[in-house]
Amino acid sequence: MDAFDLIIQGGTVATASDTFRADVGIRNGKITALADNLSGATRTIDATGKLVLPGGIESHAHIEQESATGAMTSDDYYTGSVSAAFGGNTSIIPFAAQHRGQSIDDVLDLYHSRASSKSVLDYSFHLIVSDPTQEVLTKGLPKAFEGGITSFKVFMTYDKMIVSDEQMLDILVTAREHGALTMVHAENNAMIKWMVKRLIDRGYTKPPYHAVSHPAAAEAEAISRGIALASYVDAPLLIVHVSSEAGANLVADARRAGKKIFGETCPQYLFLEADDLDREGAEGLKYVCSPPLRNKQTQEDLWRHLQAGTFHLYSSDHAPYRFDETGKLSNGPNPPFTQVANGMPGIELRAPLLFHHGVNKGRITLNQFVAYTSTNAARLFGMHPEKGTIAIGSDADIAIWDPALTRTITADGMHDNMDYTPFEGHSLTGWPVTVLSRGEIIVDQNKLYAERGRGQFVHRRPFDPVGYSSPTPPEMNPALNFGARLLD
């Protein structure tokens, strides 16, 4: 019998820490050898001149998810995962959203059923908690953790999703007790609503006013408050989709102070800008997302923070709504900015954009690229080392990249269920050409080989705070004799 099912020969392997020449031997879906000149396989892939990287882990995507206003994303778990695979990803962690009145059990049953029959990639979910009743805090969330869902998101804005500061403290403490990671959409609801009203009252309804109504100050206030709440109960907190310099500075300050605060930014804040909202006719609606696009200076500020290590994650925030009556135009051909679904697609382009603008332009190293697109997510979300690296014993989740391949982005060339891409016409060098999931070739030379529903649920471990110690005990400790175990 052959020693390996598959050998990837002649490539350059890169992990979050090292770059080296090695063949990769795969057996039973796992990496079993890394060495020069491996032989004895049923099948070989010639990776000469190519990069052999851990498959990407897309940890922020909205797939087959209803928003609070009822809008359904255009991608289901099939098209969303296929698009992710063509972008070099091998795992996805979309959101399972609780809307008020729903039990956590029902939410998870629904999302498990949506994903299991369709996803071509391995998957998990972050739970969105919008209704933290006693039942949810004491039964629903603990059961979700036991079921391998060890992270969830809360919103500090949107009337139908927002949690109060008290509710957020309840969730943070519950998460801390179980070893879960809380994620937060941090924007100040009152500041946004106040400005929205003033704008609409004065007739400012076009897409650019979406950005005006969601100022960086609203993000900074909420990030600052989120950090204060999490620090108060000594719980870890991940600030998702940081879009402003003020927000990034707050994350950096908290990290410098040794707090268990983590940050994420997204391609749209590095590669697009608020001027895109001012495109001809209704085109600007394609660029409405929250937090909104900022300006060129902010792009530079966020790059600086990415280079400096402020952020752990770089995620697409894929939130696909088509440019038709099922999506962006569901309230007519020219809706005011308040009546358009928030979000844009990007799951397929996340990693290629960072490769081109980051690695090729010398802004980040190849190893940082691997960390941002894969390893850090695996670590933060309890999937490492099965996922997120190339090591003996890890799952053979691998993306083989051609660093010299240049392609121009078109909506037609994407594999999602969208009718536009906000990156139309951008030319990028460096693309994944072959993608393996647990040793199985699922994408090769622009062709899909994956069966619908082949993806497996990843039962994630708790968030591991080792190495992220907090320097001071929480101020509230003395008052917590009644429940000290919550903060032990």
Residues that bind ligand DUC (CB under 6 A): 62, 185, 241, 290, 317, 319, 342-343
Q: Which is nearer to ligand DUC, 50 or 286 (CB)?
A: 286
Helix 245-256 to helix 296-308 angle (10° resolution) is 20
Smaller CB distance to ligand DUC: residue 317 or 402? Answer: 317
| Least distance (Å) between residue 319 CB and ligand DUC | 4
Give, for 59, the enclosing helix (H) or strand (E): strand 56-61
Contact criterion met (CB below 8 Å) for 16 and 51: no
Euclidean distance between CA atoms 157 and 162, whole angstroms: 5
What one-character-per-residue DSSP string does 340-409 give? S---B--TTTHHHHHIIIIIITTSS-HHHHHIIIIIHHHHHTT-TTTSSS--TTSB--EEEEEEEEEEE-
243 or 374: whose CB is closer to ligand DUC? 243
- In whole angstroms, how close is the CB of 285 to ligand DUC at the nearest point? 14
52 versus 154: smaller Cβ distance to ligand DUC: 154
Pick 62 or 438: Cβ nearer ligand DUC:
62
Residue closer to Zn ion, measured from CB, 170 or 317: 317
Nearest residue by C-beta to Zn ion?
185
- Which CB atom, from 38 or from 186, has the smaller least distance to ligand DUC? 186
243 binds, among Zn ion, ligand DUC, none (CB under 5 to 8 A by kind): none
Burial 172-208 (b: 16+ CB within 10 A, else e): bbbbbbeebbbbbbbbbbebbeebbeebeeeebebbb
- Taking CB under 5 A as the binding criterion, the range among 33-41, 109-117, 315-323, 356-364 that sits at the site for Zn ion is 315-323
* Burial class (CB within 10 angstroms; exposed 0-12, middle 13-18, buried 19+) of 328: buried
User: Considering the complex, what minimum distance in angstroms separates the CB of residue 448 from ligand DUC?
Assistant: 26
Residue 208: CB minimum distance to ligand DUC, A: 18
Binding Zn ion by CB under 5 A: which of 185, 214, 259, 426?
185
Q: Nearest to residue 290, comparing CAs of 336, 357, 331, 338?
A: 338
Secondary structure class of 35 (helix, strand, coil): strand
Question: For residues 49 and 370, what is the distance between their CA atoms, to the nearest angstrom?
Answer: 18
Query: What's the closest the beta carbon of residue 165 comes to ligand DUC, in angstroms?
Result: 19
Q: Name which of ligand DUC, Zn ion, none residue 342 binds, using a CB cut-off of 5 to 8 Å depending on partner kind.
A: ligand DUC
Q: What does the block give as tokens for 127?
A: 């739970």
Residue 394 interacts, among ligand DUC, Zn ion, none and using kind-specific CB cut-offs from 5 to 8 Å, with none
The binding site for Zn ion (CB under 5 A) comprises 185, 317
